[in-house]
Structure 1
């Protein structure tokens, strides 16, 4: 089985994939590394699986992942959360001498305290923490990079700072997915042997400017006593001012049938794009 993740090896996505495999009875896994979200998504086919970051504790949801889930025919089969932290490496002896700093786009939002203190420094955004390290190592005097703390022990540079994230307690949640659509009718007959489940989905109203639309949608879950743990709005991109809602519902074993009955009621009035149903 091929497991596609953001690479190269050594990224937090790589660590998350390996942590997930420790919880699953899977064998003969081949890791398939890609530099961009789109390439990870496009690489997953058949029974192979992929992993993308969904939410960071400090910087919130990863819009690049949500935007793909919004229209993608994928099924989420699980999730994994891992701790993350960052260090700074530089080819200078003092912070004031840094001219350029390489930082992954999501890492940047988690290290704002450090970055805003560095005046007149060019911030160069990368697609991966390991690419930040590679570009820094191929650079010159005055360069710096923010990289995973786990990589710091194998490096030696004039300036090295540990734990540069805005707070030490930091984690990122990743989703694991396959490349086939989540059929609401089909999965409604599945029953997970677990005490708790999570069901992610998008709901798109026909009209967003009608008073009470969101109130009406949320009412279905309130009446069914289903716990809504996530609510995000995203533009549908086909028309300005039109949005869909990303939701995650959590529940217990006894609520599985209630979940699907509720979603069928909602689907009779709104467009429901299910993303699966998995144990947590």
Structure 2
């Protein structure tokens, strides 16, 4: 059984996968590393798992993940949050000598204060923080990279800086998923602790553009006292002005049947793209 994640080993995605497996042990599972989000998704086997970053505390939601979820037939089975912190290393002796800096595409938005001190440096975007490390290893004098703070202890570069993120407290939330369509039917399950919590994620797309459409969607959840914890608008790409809404809902397991009943009623009017329900 494979657990597909953004690699190589040492990334925050790798740390998230390791943490998930500590919390939810699975026998005979192998972590399978890939260079891009799309490769991670494509690599997930019918009996395997995938992991993608969804939200960063400083830089918000990961657009590439939301775009994939908008059209993907997957079922989310859990989430995990890990702390992220960054250091800077370079083949230089001070900041002023940096001519080129490698930065993972999502890391860049979390280290803006540092990058503002390098107005003349060329920023080269990478697909993972560990690839930034590899690029620096193979680089030339004047190169630098922002990398996981932990890597500063194992790498040997002339110049380093600790804790270069815009704030010390910083976390990234990852989703764990199976490559099978989520459904709106409540599955038969053994007795559960009804006081325990769940989270559900889905996309809701209205059929037309009209005044008050978002209010109408939100009213379904307000009337049933389901807790709406996230809402993001995403273009459908079919017509300007028509948006799909990414929504996350939380509640107790006692409310899970109420959630499914609500979504089934909404499906008569809206296009519902469920992404799964999982315990917290």
TM-score by length of 2: 0.97
* Alpha-carbon distance in 1 for matches of 2:258, 2:2: 35
Alignment match, 1:199: 200
Unpaired segments ≥5 residues, structure 1? none
Q: How does 1:174-253 map to 2 (within 5 A)?
A: 174-185=174-185, 187-190=186-189, 193-194=192-193, 195-208=196-209, 210-253=210-253
Alignment match, 1:278: 278
Q: Give 1:192 shift.
A: 7.7
Q: Give 1:115 shift.
A: 0.4
Tell me the number of residue pairs that the alignment of Structure 1 and Structure 2 aligns.
278
State the Cα deviation string for residues 118-158 of structure 1 (Å, max 9, x = none). 12110000000000000011000000000001111112211
Cα RMSD (Å): 1.1
Alignment match, 2:78: 78
CA contact (8 A) 1:99 1:120 kept: yes
Alignment match, 2:129: 129
* Alpha-carbon distance in 2 for matches of 1:251, 1:181: 22
Q: 1:42 to 1:244 in 2, by over 3 A?
A: same
| 1:34 and 2:14 correspond | no
Q: Give 1:191 shift.
A: 6.7
Q: Give 1:241 shift.
A: 2.4
Q: Give 1:116 shift.
A: 1.2
* Alpha-carbon distance in 2 for matches of 1:87, 1:206: 47
SS at match of 2:182: coil
Q: Give 1:55 shift.
A: 0.1
Unpaired segments ≥5 residues, structure 2? none
Alignment match, 2:265: 265
* Alpha-carbon distance in 2 for matches of 1:188, 1:238: 33
State the Cα deviation string for residues 50-101 of structure 1 (Å, max 9, x = none). 0000000000000000000001000000000000000000111110010000
Runs of 4+ in 1 over 6 A off after TM superposition: none
SS at match of 1:277: strand
Alignment match, 2:69: 69
Alignment match, 2:25: 25
SS at match of 1:124: strand
